[in-house]
A and B are shown apart, each in its own frame.
Chain A
């Protein structure tokens, strides 16, 4: 991470936090200590700041930040240092398109440019950090070609990459 983008990231964190603070304060809510309710939000907060830890890493983070008695809230005092660590961790880098392509190719045994629905479901729901059924269905809804029941991964990747820009 270069210096400019670092400052950017820090400023993003700041803005994000301040938005939350400001909203709560202007609605006359005392925000001196407690900021975030609902623990699953942490994942999206972290990701929105440009960091993409794996599920396992996320759980570790949560473990550090959660209160002993779960109140459903997360303490700002605890969150900031943990968040700092996450930001400075260099391993949360975006995945380049070609690496992603390689990954799909690794699952494509016959190297024919597509993976069948059954194979993909098997790999993604049994290997790695398995998808839930919901996640699998979501991905298939855009990735699957219903006529052939296959996923043409090159097209899929380029479609999603376009969407992002």
Chain B
């Protein structure tokens, strides 16, 4: 799995060279020499420590991010579970359930035009923003850029018009775009932007605007997380229409309304366009599904958002109807609601897995290492270390075995290929092709395995890369999807390039963004940047401290959210009920609950303030954590914990239920949500508990709850700055 790249490789090489090419031996006894050595040693150690801190912080952000994505998939498993187990006992309940699934249905052409009609919308004279007319001209693009720099908003009429035209254009495009370097000298490829408009501005500033002599490929994930996703879409679509031959867009896993519900794009649109937001969202859904899936440069370089798998089939990708997949994460369709029974297994995970993976208490505790032998006996120590490590390996293996299905199929065995007619692929096969392209990540080991961390796509090894490159006579792959410290990173022997264009993705100072330029020789040239004035003025130490603070805050919140599970885990290590446990036990207990794969011992100083002779009083530590999170005192803490733990899921569910995006759901629906949720998540929520919750919300909108208020009241949603 990709993480930050190596520490100063050039440093290492340089030092190596230096020591090999020493011509005159310096006088090692000279005091200046000794002093220099000391200072250099100390400084290098300091830098190395900083680097370790940075890596730790990076790991924290990454594990939380991926755990969240995993949540998304689990949520869909929840819906599948509902489909199979929930028998609505009243027409009200049936409506409620069906609403959760029918959201995001694809409209027929005529219906879409009618619903998202813009022609009757009047633009008032008082509107000072840009006015678009079609066909678009370069002046319109510059006007838009200028307007967005001034923080103006484009009128909804023009937004809808633009989306309609974009959709019309995209429909004509093939699934795989072709770019040639002989027409325009260079092609610039950009990775994830995630609503960070400043980064896009910087790229245009540094590299120039798209034009007949300047081709661009944007490799997906334009939206979500950042606050200006819509502006980015508007700009990209505008340039797409003005320079159709030079601008190419690939679909990313975030160009998917089901993902947008969770990660902020839906919310952004509704906040900016209170009246017409739903129309805009509906149109965008129907634009995303028409985005091309991949781009080929000179038939030699394949650009896809996520990655590939061992079953990636470019011929199939060329031919499938890409617009059928409005969301790549749809759950099962109710059998009654449609004549075509289309069953899509998510991830190959069966329902069996869903039920077992939630019960964390079932996992056996990790083996405690025997006490370390005395330091004087090196042999003993070696043996002890080796044994203990082996035990850990074995225990981990057990963990994995218990979580995976009885027969562990790789993807290829799940998908059945028909030999009769190659056109006649099953919906599942086609869906898998797209899922792999949009969600996969490279790994360093050989093979191809299910991507359990993200919950979608797979991990592909260097052998898979070689196989696909050979099969289609390609030179290398360009993909995005993963944040990289330097904005880009090579792997698989420079055959896979990850390019990521959202700088400061986790926090100010966390990473650079980058874009890559390819000429006819297809040799990549990189430009890196960090689009934040503050990031430049901070020293290295300050930058790292800032990002660190942010990471630890997030981590402490996560710990709080698992208070009950943590207490049980700690108690298991505290058989004599002393209220204290050792730091090693603490580390192991925490990992067994959170499953984030973090080096807890190393992180301990920032998480646990005080320890008395290596022992921690866990109850008071947890109480301290609770105090940091502002809480409503009259709500039972266990309920609060449940809310915190599942807040992202809750928000997503609320938004799905709220079909008309009004921000309100009825009291009854609210209770229903909680009830269903608690059944699936195996948590105990009494009716009283739910009543307490409801009472704490000041709702006066005739039986409706403004769930934004609810979420914000519990600090479940980041306050907008």
Q: Which residues of A contact B (CB under 8 A)?
A: 1, 3-4, 6-7, 10-19, 21-32, 37-41, 43-44, 47-48, 52, 54-56, 59, 76, 80-81, 84-85, 88, 95, 99-100, 102-104, 106-107, 123-124, 127-132, 134-135, 138-139, 141-142, 160, 163-164
Contact = CB atoms under 8 A, between A and B. Distances in A.
Contacts of B445: 24, 29-30
A159 B404 CA distance: 51
A26 B399 contact: yes
Given A28-B450, A80-B386, A142-B539, A131 B400 contact: no
B386 A123 contact: no
Contact of B16 (A28, A59, A123): A59
Contact of A124 (B39, B400, B540, B541): B39
Query: Secondary structure at chain A's binding surface: helix, strand, loop or mixed?
Result: helix
Given A21-B396, A26-B452, A56 B9 contact: no
Residue with the greatest number of chain B CB neighbours at <10 A, chosen from A12, A16, A22, A59: A22
Contacts of A16: 599, 602
Given A15-B587, A27-B443, A27-B452, A7 B371 contact: yes
**Chain B interface residue bracket vs A:** 35 or more
Contacts of A138: 47, 540
A11 B47 CA distance: 24
Contacts of B381: 10, 84, 88
Nearest to A94: B45
A1 B432 CA distance: 56
B52 A107 contact: no
A104 B19 contact: no
Contacts of B6: 38, 40-41
Interface string B426-463: 00000000000000000111000110110000010000
A129 B40 contact: yes
A131 B18 CA distance: 10
Contacts, number: 216
A132 B11 contact: yes
Nearest to A21: B393
A142 B39 CA distance: 15
Contacts of A160: 46, 541
A106 B35 contact: yes
In order of increasing CB-CB distance, the 10 nearest A-B pairs are A128-B36, A127-B36, A106-B35, A128-B37, A47-B48, A103-B35, A103-B38, A28-B449, A52-B45, A48-B52
Contacts of B42: 95, 100, 103
Contacts of B424: none
B375 A88 contact: yes
B314 interface: no
Interface string B373-385: 0110010011001
A1 B375 contact: yes
